[in-house]
Structure formats: structure tokens, C-alpha cells
Amino acid sequence: MSRYMSARFDGLEAYVPGEQPQDMQYVKLNTNESPFPPSPQVLEAVNAAQTARLNLYPDPEGKVLRARLAAMYEVKPENVFLANGSDELLSFAFMAFCDEERPVAFPNISYGFYPVYASLYQVPSTEIPLKEDFSLDPGDYCGLNQNIVIANPNAPTGRAISVADIEEIVRTNPDHVVLIDEAYIDFGGESCLPLIRKYDNLLVCQTFSKFRSLAGGRLGFALASPGLIADLDKIKYSTNSYNINRLTMAAAIATLDSNDYYVENGKKIQENRAWTTAELAKLGFETLPSLTNFIFTRCPQVEGGTFYQRLKSKGVLVRHWNKPEIADWCRVTIGTREQMEFFLDKVREILKEAG
């Protein structure tokens, strides 16, 4: 930190993103991207008219895309908010809804950005422990009287809670915002989105980064009551009114035009997830049940950090955290069948070397 930086950030520990090697020499199973490229329609849409119009600002309201998302999710455009990745959405939500008087609670093992935003915006936060099997007890959040952020399904565990449980949490915290981060909802989970019609304190966040193969485009969106959306708009128009660039907007619309392609890819990911989990079980791995495009797994012989390092030295990147509760575990993104075969070959080598 230079001597010019505000002292209010002295205690801030920034988020550390997963490795993004630029030479592409790894089988990359570390940041939950889709292994499948965007659909041909997306490539066409980005290449055509939009690049020639980059001299012009994009539509700050993202009208066309918001209308398309609203139609798809059977809500109104005033229920939809667009953000530059769901990370920006989370940032805006923490800024809009949390402060000293409105603290926030989230699970102790979840997406690493939640505590960072709490710290950035100087919001008191409570980390509620998951149970021993990494499942979440919804009772811990009922009547909590704080803002609540829950990733459902959770990351990095992959476990989900039911829509009925979410409803109970939302219903019993009427004076606070309950943010459900559904980044991984399209890989077999059930969205709590229909509840936004009934509860004006529910904010559902989704992203184009995973199921829709658009991590590099940076597009997240929220679905909520018009009141919460207007609050987010106020923050957006006070931060960066053109937060979705022209190319991403065009790519996203073309993505929605080619939904079947993504549904097919999603099925393949679910098949590969089941197959990889079964193969790992044969090797003695313990893997949590997952409704996402990744699995959280524990090697029977090799400690998590070492397992991660060995895989990396063999050309496979996965994610490991030096956090005591999960130090034995690694998170492995589900890729193509070929990528998972390569991963499993390397796992077998590591087990052999470990004796």
C-alpha cells in the first residue's frame, strides 16, 4: 500500500482469484468455467454489427437484454438488473443494503468474495458454520434479523438447500435482504426465483459465466422486486452507468437465442460429473453430492495442498484453499469427458506414486 491510500482499507484482504494462466498449457479445472465455447450464434453476433459500433456507448438500461431475460424467467423488465459479472452485482448489493446497522451473515465455507465485500464496505459480518458434512442448516438463518447471503448450490461444496428452506429463511427475515446467489443453479438445482413475486426482500443472483459459457464476457443479473432493483440501479448509476459493454450485450442476447445448445452442454456436464464422481469413488475418494459444474473431493492418501500441487505439476489445475476446515479437499471443475479422463489418469499416477 502506498502512503496515499485511505487508512480505512488497512484491514482489507483482497479476494484472490483462481489462477488464469495465459499460456493455456493446463487442463483448467480450477475456476468453474464451461469447457464449451459460446454458441456459433454468439461468435457471429459479436463479430458482426457490434464491433463496428464500438465508438458508441452501450444502452445503459440494457433494455433489449433485460426484456429478453424477463420474458425467459416470466417476470417484468423492472424485476431484472444487469451487472458486469455477478461479482459486481454482489458488490452493489453489499453497498446498497449493508452497513453498521444492517450487518450481514453468510456461511463460514462459501464464496470467498462475501467476506471481502463485507470488509470493503465495513459491514459487520457473521460467518455461520456449516454442519460437519458441509450441509447448511436452514434453521440457523431463520429469524436472524440480519441481511443474509447464501450461495445455492453452495461453492465450493456443491451442496444445495431446498426452495422450501429458502422460503422459510426469506419469510422469517422480512426486514432484511436475503440474497440467494444462484451462480450454479442450471446444473440440476431448483431456482427460488418464483418466490420474488411473493417476497420483496429476496434478491436472486445469476450469471452467464458458468452454464452459458460467457465468463470472459462478464455478465451477471439479479431478479427481484422492483424496489430492490431500483436500489441497485441507484448504486449502479452512481458507480458506472455503462457497466455492460456493447459486445457482451450482443453476446448475451445471442446466448439466449441459442438456449438449446447450452441445455445440451449442461447435460454433458451433469453426465461427466456423475461419471467422474463414480471413477473417483473406485479410487477411494470421498466426494460431496454436487448440483453444480464442480465437485468437492478428498483424496484418500494425499493431503489437499499436496494433491493440488502434484496435479499442477502434471498439467491439471484444480482449486485448493489453505483453510483448516477444508484443507483436505480440492474443488474440481467438471470439464469435457476427455479432460476428466486426463484428470483421472493423473490422479491414478499420483496415487501410485504415493504408494
Which residues contact ligand PMP (rule: CB under 6 A)?
85-87, 111, 151, 155, 181, 183, 207, 209, 215, 220
- In whole angstroms, the minimum distance from the beta carbon of 94 to ligand PMP comes to 13
39 or 86: CB nearest ligand PMP: 86
- In whole angstroms, the minimum distance from the beta carbon of 82 to ligand PMP comes to 11
When CB distances to ligand PMP are compared, the closest residue is: 85
Place of cell 477411494: 284
- In whole angstroms, the minimum distance from the beta carbon of 130 to ligand PMP comes to 14
- In whole angstroms, the minimum distance from the beta carbon of 285 to ligand PMP comes to 22
Beta-carbon contacts of 307 under 8 Å, excluding residues fewer than 6 positions away, are 299, 320, 330, 350
Calculate the alpha carbon distances from 222 to 78, 93, 193, 306 in Å.
Answer: 11, 10, 10, 38
- In whole angstroms, the minimum distance from the beta carbon of 258 to ligand PMP comes to 19
- Residue 49 backbone zone (phi > 0: left; psi -120 to 50: alpha; other: beta): alpha
111 or 261: CB nearest ligand PMP: 111
- In whole angstroms, the minimum distance from the beta carbon of 114 to ligand PMP comes to 9
3-state secondary structure at position 55: coil
Q: Regarding beta strands 220-224 and 202-207, do their DSSP bridges make them parallel or antiparallel, or are they unpaired?
A: antiparallel
160 or 350: CB nearest ligand PMP: 160
205 or 350: CB nearest ligand PMP: 205
Place of cell 458441509: 134
Given a contact cutoff of 8 angstroms between Cβ atoms, the answer to whether 48 and 59 are in contact is no
152 or 201: CB nearest ligand PMP: 152
146 or 157: CB nearest ligand PMP: 157
Give CA–CA dist 327/320, Å, rounded: 7
